[in-house]
Amino acid sequence: MKDGRTIGVGAGQQSRIHCTRLAGDKADRWLLRQHPKVLALPFRPDIRRPDRDNTVDVYLSDDAGKVLADGVWQRYFVRKPEPFSRGEKKEWLARQDGVSLGSDAFFPFGDNIERAHRSGVRYIAQPGGSIRDDNVIETCDRYGIAMAFTGLRLFHH
């Protein structure tokens, strides 16, 4: 959650780290969409919203050339946008902060915290109760992440 908005959900994964990665990747995509370069993309006025959203997704991906190639960009934009480099994306994401993460099940390992940190997570609420809570707490402390144990586990086998 960022500024009161849900920006990434990792529902339905059987592995907690896969769930954290999925939510983090979705959050990263949302955060990248807030970059001034993306917000200023010079779309043609006749582009429909779904086409605009899909074009932004491709523009943010490693396949950006598919919408920036000569003869193609003219379908979407009034002028050719500058590419959004991998370095620019990485720098933008590194500046993000203040993201909250909530989980309905405990985190069994610090790797979940490591991945969450990469998406700007500063606050975590989770049930606690893992035999490795000490490792998870140490990882949070290393990154200055505040974590609260809710004691309420909503995930059951």
* Residue 14 in tokens: 């059987």
Task: Evaluate whether residue 75 is within a structural domain.
Answer: yes
Residues 117 and 141 both lie in one domain: yes
Residues 45 and 27 both lie in one domain: no
* Residue 35 in tokens: 């970059």
Measured CA to CA, the distance from residue 103 to residue 139 in angstroms comes to 16
Q: What is the pLDDT of residue 157?
A: 59
pLDDT tens figures, 16-30: 899 999 999 999 999
- Count: domains in the chain: 2
Task: Evaluate whether residue 5 is within a structural domain.
Answer: no
Task: Evaluate whether residue 24 is within a structural domain.
Answer: yes
- Identify the CATH number of the domain in which residue 22 sits: 3.40.140.20
pLDDT at 152 over 90: no
pLDDT tens figures, 63-117: 999 999 999 999 999 999 999 999 999 999 999 999 999 998 888 899 999 999 9
- Answer for the pair 53, 61: CB distance below 8 angstroms, yes or no: no
Which has the closest alpha carbon to 118: 154, 93, 137, 135? 93
pTM: 0.89
Task: Evaluate whether residue 40 is within a structural domain.
Answer: yes
Residues 24 and 40 both lie in one domain: no
Domain limits for position 107: 16-31+93-149
Residues 99 and 134 both lie in one domain: yes
pLDDT at 156 over 80: no
Say what angle helices 111-118 and 133-143 make with each other, to 10 degrees: 30
Residues 70 and 113 both lie in one domain: no
C-alpha distances out from residue 49 to 56, 76, 117, Å:
10, 11, 32
Provide the pairing of β-strand 99-102 with 146-149: unpaired
